[in-house]
Structure 1
């Protein structure tokens, strides 16, 4: 079972009001320097909310959405502190998370 963590917000906020490109580029550089495999994804219009037990009605109403999904809980917690206006949560999956399937 895999534990995934996410930070989600409206696409407008995440892509236009936050320096998400810079944040993710720095994270990728850190992973490459550390010889670590990438364990996060930027997803536009995520549909994994349908599989989460508790509904997230407040954030669902702010469409279109964008999410950053990761295996690293601390990374998502840091994003929440950095960006403030994002909703965070988690979900479990029996399979490896593939962005094209969400």
Structure 2
């Protein structure tokens, strides 16, 4: 079962307050330049926060969460350093 890493915050924060579109576009272009498959996704209302171990996140982000999910832990760590006000974590899933 693959392990996924995530950075999550409110959709309003990620979309309106941070240049997330630009960050992800630059990352996509970098991956293309080195012939690497995309291993990250941006999603709104991610379902993994309904898992019992993420109840504390669900309480903090009462509505409209959004997340960047990746197979690359270092990318998510970089996102955390770049954006600051996100919650990071990881989960296993056979069908993300």
Provide the TM-score with structure 1 as the length reference: 0.86
Q: Secondary structure at the match of 2:53?
A: coil
| Separation in structure 1 between the aligned mates of residue 59 and residue 31 of structure 2, nearest angstrom | 33
Provide the TM-score with structure 2 as the length reference: 0.91
Is residue 34 of structure 2 the alignment partner of residue 34 of structure 1? Answer: yes
* Greater fraction of residues in helix: 2
After superposition, the Cα gap between the structure-2 partners of 1:96 and 1:14, relative to the gap in structure 1 and judged at 3 Å, is same
- Unpaired runs of 5+ in structure 1? 98-102
| Separation in structure 2 between the aligned mates of residue 37 and residue 88 of structure 1, nearest angstrom | 22
- Unpaired runs of 5+ in structure 2? none
Q: Secondary structure at the match of 2:60?
A: helix
Is residue 75 of structure 2 the alignment partner of residue 80 of structure 1? Answer: no
| Aligned residue pairs, count | 95
| Separation in structure 2 between the aligned mates of residue 8 and residue 88 of structure 1, nearest angstrom | 6
Shift of 1:52: 4.9
Shift of 1:53: 2.2
| Separation in structure 2 between the aligned mates of residue 45 and residue 54 of structure 1, nearest angstrom | 13
